[in-house]
Amino acid sequence: MTPMTTYLTMNKPQRRTVVLGLTAAFIHAALPVSALSTAQAKNLVGQVVDDINRVIRSGQSEPVMLAEFEKIFQRYADVKTIARYALGRDARSASPAQMAAFTDAFSSYFSRKYGAQFNEFVDGRIDVKSTKAVKSFHEVKAIVEFRGGSKVELIFLVSDRSGRPLFFNIFLEGINMLVAERTEIGAMLDQRRGDLKALISDLKKLG
């Protein structure tokens, strides 16, 4: 099997300017140095990787595997942070009820989308390789190695800002998930003329 196909799209929004070079570090720039240890960050990603490996080796049907991947993201991802960043400046004007509804809809959409990508690792194995502290978060590198010898790099960014260790970003083959999702969600909102209610409804259908 060849390395996975990258499904992330980078549509350019019309209503907002998105700096694609923006890194996840800016989300945490104002935070104090995290109490999260390198060992805790590595352990978190190790658990994620173990669960993903368990699913891809299970031999279950694709719908069942996608449901399992969704559980993994719900368990280990800082979905609230990812959702707020994906919505961008519109998150500041959304009411608490709207933000809660968006986060819920985005969570299912996000989990299924990335679960489908991890499903392409069915002929490979993921192993954690290294961990390092980067200001207020930790960067954990993993490698997907396929039977034919080809490899894909995964980088998880981990923080405990939510009160426990969770990953808040992934780089898949060099593509920044946070930036890609902010661009994608921004484009979807543009297509709906800024109607957040319509976006939430459509995300539920996609999820």
Rounded average pLDDT over 22-27: 45
Position with higher pLDDT, 136 vs 192: 192
The predicted model gives 50-56 an average pLDDT of 92
- Is residue 26 a part of any domain in this protein? no
Hey, what are 99's tokens? 């933000």
- For the ranges 5-19, 126-140, 189-203, the lowest mean pLDDT is seen at 5-19
Give 141 or 13, the one with higher predicted confidence: 141
Query: Does 56 or 25 have the greater pLDDT score?
Result: 56
Residue-level pLDDT at 139: 96
Arithmetic mean of pLDDT, 64-82: 91
In this structure, is residue 24 part of a structural domain?
A: no
CATH of the domain at 123: 3.10.450.710
Give yes or no for a contact between 48 and 73, defined as CB atoms under 8 angstroms apart: no
Nearest Cα neighbor of 183 from 105, 91, 88, 102 is 88
Residue 8 lies in a domain: no
- Total domain count, the chain: 1
Give domain status of residue 15, yes or no.
no
Indicate the residue type of 20: L
Backbone angles phi, psi at 96, to 5 degrees: -55, -40
pLDDT at 21 > cutoff 70 = no
Whether the pLDDT of residue 50 is over 50: the answer is yes
Position 120 confidence tier, pLDDT thresholds 50, 70, 90: confident
Is residue 132 situated within a structural domain? yes
Nearest to 16 by CA among 108, 91, 83, 79: 91
- Give the residues across from 128 on adjacent strands: 142
The confidence score (pLDDT) of residue 59 equals 86
Given this model, what pLDDT does residue 34 score?
60
Residue 184 lies in a domain: yes
Range of the domain at 134: 35-206
**143, 129 Cβ separation under 8 angstroms:** yes
Let me know how long the chain is: 207
Q: The pTM is what?
A: 0.81
Which of the four pLDDT bands, split at 50, 70 and 90, describes residue 91?
Answer: very high
The better pLDDT of the pair 152, 33 is held by 152
Q: What is the pLDDT of residues 122-180, one digit of tens each?
A: 888 999 999 999 988 999 999 999 988 899 999 999 999 888 999 999 998 889 999 99
Q: Could you tell me if residue 17 is inside a domain? A: no
Q: Taking a C-beta distance cutoff of 8 angstroms, is the pair 107, 69 a contact? A: no
The residue-averaged pLDDT of 95-112 equals 93
Res 26 pLDDT > 60: no
Q: Average pLDDT for residues 43-62, to the nearest whole number?
A: 92
Flag whether 157 is in a domain.
yes
